Structure 1
Amino acid sequence: MAINVSFVKLEMVREPAHRYNLKTRTIHGPEDADQAAREILKLDRQAQEVFAIFMLDTKNHITAVQEITRGSVNASIVHPREVFKAAVMANATSIICFHNHPSGNPNPSREDLSVTDRLVKAGHILDIPVLDHVIIGEPGSFVSLKERGMM
């Protein structure tokens, strides 16, 4: 019975990747992550923070996308356990985290930096590196924590 439950959960994690034909989408940099996040989750229209991850294979092709949490106007609770549960189930070799700031200002908060640090450490232990954390602001604006040297 547990095997069937795991299989169903795995399919639910992978389902969005098939629906959006993401297997052919490759992330080359933060611009690609920003564009994919806006297209798939329509983050420009969210009135609350949405934290999600792209799960990648060895060639940085998106194999799955998973919304981890929805929060309030200015916060969401992110726990490494939930982030990496999805990544492990999808056989991801790496992940890119992303979330929006409904205020439109993509500058990272202390909480954003703290969560990223915890996720990077957990990813190191699990051998599923966090390649970047992209914060999405108003249309055309985003911040890559990797690009800014904040992770």
Structure 2
Amino acid sequence: MKKKVDFISLKICREKTVEYESKGITNPDRAFEAISNIIDNTDRECFGVIMMNNANEINSFEICSVGTVNMTLAHPREVFKGAILSNASKIMLFHTHPSNTIEPSQTDIDTTKELIEASKILQIPIIDHIITCERGYFSFAEHGILFGE
């Protein structure tokens, strides 16, 4: 007996465009500036990915997950899907903290560590993880957490 299987093709759908300074993202301040243009302060945690080329210029971005007031899901499958489809050579993670607590939780650190391991297999480096809130931002790389180890 023959079974039918789906033949699929994947396409990127451009939902909207956002303007930002076309300089490459070379430090957390520039990353925060770009993220602020992408997403405002929210009442729920949002987890996103900025996809970049070799010159650290943004190709695209995606909000992968919208959660609750104090948590969101960041599954590797969802985080890297957009990066693969947009041919990103590297990515930067970001998520919001509506509680206005800027420091990462242990869950934030553990999730980032898991995503870094996945990035090694996929060979799409994660260059930073930025937490944003009304008070500003927290850069994992700038604070030496998981990056540069």
Contact kept, 8 Å, 1:22 with 1:63, in 2: the verdict is no
Contact kept, 8 Å, 1:22 with 1:61, in 2: the verdict is no
Contact kept, 8 Å, 1:123 with 1:130, in 2: the verdict is yes
Secondary structure class of the residue paired with 2:61: strand
Secondary structure class of the residue paired with 2:104: coil
| TM norm structure 2 | 0.88
Contact kept, 8 Å, 1:15 with 1:64, in 2: the verdict is no
Q: 2:111 aligns with which of 115, 118, 123?
A: 115
Secondary structure class of the residue paired with 1:54: strand
Secondary structure class of the residue paired with 2:77: helix
Runs of 4+ residues over 3 Å off in structure 1:
none
Equivalent residue, structure 2, for 1:146: 141
Q: State the distance in 1 between where 2:29 and 2:89 align.
A: 20
Q: State the distance in 1 between where 2:21 and 2:88 align.
A: 13
Q: 2:123 aligns with which of 118, 122, 127?
A: 127
Q: Is the counterpart of residue 33 in structure 1 residue 31 in structure 2?
A: yes
Instruction: Label 1:143 to 1:23 Cα distance change in 2 as closer, same or farther (>3 A).
Output: closer
Q: What is the count of residue pairs matched by the alignment?
A: 140
Equivalent residue, structure 2, for 1:2: 8
Secondary structure class of the residue paired with 2:114: helix
Equivalent residue, structure 1, for 2:52: 56
CA-atom RMSD in angstroms:
1.6
Larger radius of gyration: 2
Larger fraction in helix? 1
- The residue type equivalent to 2:60 in the other structure is A
Secondary structure class of the residue paired with 1:38: helix
Which consecutive residues of structure 2, in runs of 5 or more, have no partner in the other structure? 1-6
Task: Quote the offset at 1:24 in angstroms.
Answer: 2.7
Q: 1:100 aligns with which of 96, 105, 116?
A: 96
- The residue type equivalent to 1:122 in the other structure is A
Q: State the distance in 2 between where 1:108 and 1:49 align.
A: 13
Contact kept, 8 Å, 2:20 with 2:34, in 1: the verdict is no
Secondary structure class of the residue paired with 1:103: coil
Secondary structure class of the residue paired with 1:24: coil
Secondary structure class of the residue paired with 2:74: coil
| TM norm structure 1 | 0.87
Identity level (%): 34
